[in-house]
Amino acid sequence: MVRPKTLRRWRDEGKRRPRKRYSHLSRAQKRNIASRLTQGASAPALAERYGVSIATVYNIPNEYRLKGEASFTAGKERIAVPRIDPADLPDDVDGLKRRCAELELDNAVLEQTIEMLKKTPASIHRI
């Protein structure tokens, strides 16, 4: 004999929402979610459409307010920026100007190297 409590549980199981699976959203999807949510779209509807949790839908615009455009970039796409200890930087303005000039020169050399590599034919040829 099946108990009434078990019958109610079986009946209500179909009403439960399945747990959302973690998925990576593209930049365009994150922008779309943020703009639709600010225009008044329903967070549960957006969560259902993109296959993410409602909390994720609410977190996307919040992150945008804090981090700006960088919040739309996936972790894999972000460029690692080396951390510089402020104690290692020179205290005088002239030293900072010299350091800035060195970095600009390094940047120019790297840009020219990239351009040369783009123009150089590949050294490995297919047969």
For residue range 35-59, what is the model confidence (pLDDT) as tens digits? 998 899 999 999 888 888 889 899 9
Query: Could you tell me the two tokens for 63?
Result: 């992150």
Query: Could you tell me the two tokens for 115?
Result: 């351009």
Tell me: pLDDT of 6 over 90. Answer: no
| Stretch 53-72: mean pLDDT | 84
More confident residue, 74 or 1: 1
Tell me: pLDDT of 34 over 80. Answer: yes
| Stretch 111-119: mean pLDDT | 86
Collapsed DSSP state (helix, strand, coil) of residue 85: coil
Collapsed DSSP state (helix, strand, coil) of residue 24: coil
pLDDT for res 104: 96
Closest to 28 in 3D by CA, of 68, 65, 74 = 74
| Stretch 88-114: mean pLDDT | 89
Cα–Cα distance measured from residue 50 to residue 27, given in angstroms and rounded to the nearest whole number:
13
| Stretch 8-21: mean pLDDT | 67
Least confident of 7-11, 88-92, 120-124: 120-124
